[in-house]
Amino acid sequence: MKITLKTCVKNIINSLVVFMGRTGIGRYLYAQIVHNAMKQTQKVEHQGLTLTFAIPNALCKYRIDTFSSKEPETLEWIDNMPNGSIVWDIGANVGLYSCYAAKHKNCQVFAFEPSVFNLELLARNIFLNGLTDMITIVSLPLTDELAVNKLNMTTTDWGGALSTFGESYGYDGQALNKDFEFSTIGISMVEAAELLKIPRPDFIKMDVDGIEHLILKGGPAILQDIQGVLVETNDDFIQQAEDTRNYLTEAGLQLKEKRRWDEIDNSPFDSTYNQIWHRSR
């Protein structure tokens, strides 16, 4: 019943948008609605820190509402970084953790996010928090080697996720339900450092919903000097899980813990964990 009601409301809104698009005043009103939606913001407080984020839709609002509860292990991991660390946020989405690391720990962050629908929000959130000198956006996807390929996306929503570069599978190794695609250039972590002159990271946070193992494959020279990695993996995606473990172990890192949100029990994501790897000194 709830799904049927949502579908009905969606169809009514779609019809209204089509109708509005037929007249000059309708197009003006629609443009104002979109403009005002993007200007909506919400503050979040965590560890005595206040951050401000744009919330143009329900998904972005959900991300802010669950900022402190959804991935506490990610926030704790950032809390334990030395001040002034260099962080690569691979799969930055709209920049929640990039902003937190930059503002809370004075980190220099390189936010890798290829989604054209998330880039505007990522830039807005960086600006809203006065972090344009601390966070650099890199709009190219990372993979195992320099290549032109497609970014395959499951949604065009602002704040959306579950996309993958150059592959037809998603976070669980199963076929991706593609809604949108575009061609772009993918690079490896080594090429990002050598060709783009991006400073090598002290820490890497990686959440790209499927090709984490390919990105790690393209970065052995980067991983050799890394202090810590937080990477999202799916235990049921055997190749991803095994390759991730092998690449990080070969780099001299040790698995400290893996955690996930309790509320995803009995959901399609109940085998997905954030793994935290560190280097013993």
State which amino acid sits at residue 264: I
| Max intra-chain CA distance, the chain | 67
- For residue 87 the two structure tokens come to 């962080």
- For residue 247 the two structure tokens come to 């690449």
Residue 158 has pLDDT above 60, yes or no: yes
pLDDT above 70: percentage of residues in the chain: 91
Residue 122 has pLDDT above 60, yes or no: yes
- Cα–chain-centroid distance for residue 127? 18
Burial class (CB in 10 A: 0-12, 13-18, 19+), 42: middle
Residue 2 has pLDDT above 60, yes or no: no
Q: What pLDDT is recorded for position 3?
A: 59
Question: How confident is the model over 19-69, as pLDDT tens digits?
Answer: 667 787 767 676 667 767 778 999 999 999 999 999 999 999 999 999 999
Contacts (Cβ under 8 Å, ≥6 apart) of 139: 113, 114, 119
Strand partners, 273: 233
Question: How confident is the model over 219-250, as pLDDT tens digits?
Answer: 999 999 999 999 999 999 999 999 999 999 99
Distance separating alpha carbons of residues 74 and 6, to the nearest angstrom? 33
DSSP class per residue in 84-137: T-EEEEET-TT-HHHHHHHHHH--EEEEE---HHHHHHHHHHHHHTT-TTTEEE
Question: Which range, 32-46, 106-120, 258-272, is most confident?
Answer: 106-120
DSSP class per residue in 206-250: E--SS-HHHHHHT-HHHHTT-SEEEEEEETT-HHHHHHHHHHHHH
Q: What pLDDT is recorded for position 31?
A: 66
In contact, 56 and 40? CB cutoff 8 Å:
yes
* Residue 162 banded pLDDT, cuts 50, 70, 90: very high
CATH of domain 42-278: 3.40.50.150
Q: What pLDDT is recorded for position 30?
A: 60
Burial class (CB in 10 A: 0-12, 13-18, 19+), 269: middle
β-strand 41-46 against 49-54: which pairing, if any? antiparallel
Instruction: Give the three-state DSSP class for 267.
Output: coil
In contact, 191 and 147? CB cutoff 8 Å:
no
Distance separating alpha carbons of residues 238 and 247, to the nearest angstrom? 14
Under the phi-then-psi rule, with left for phi > 0, alpha for psi from -120 to 50, and beta for the rest, what region is 181? beta
- Global pTM value: 0.90
- For residue 72 the two structure tokens come to 């506490």
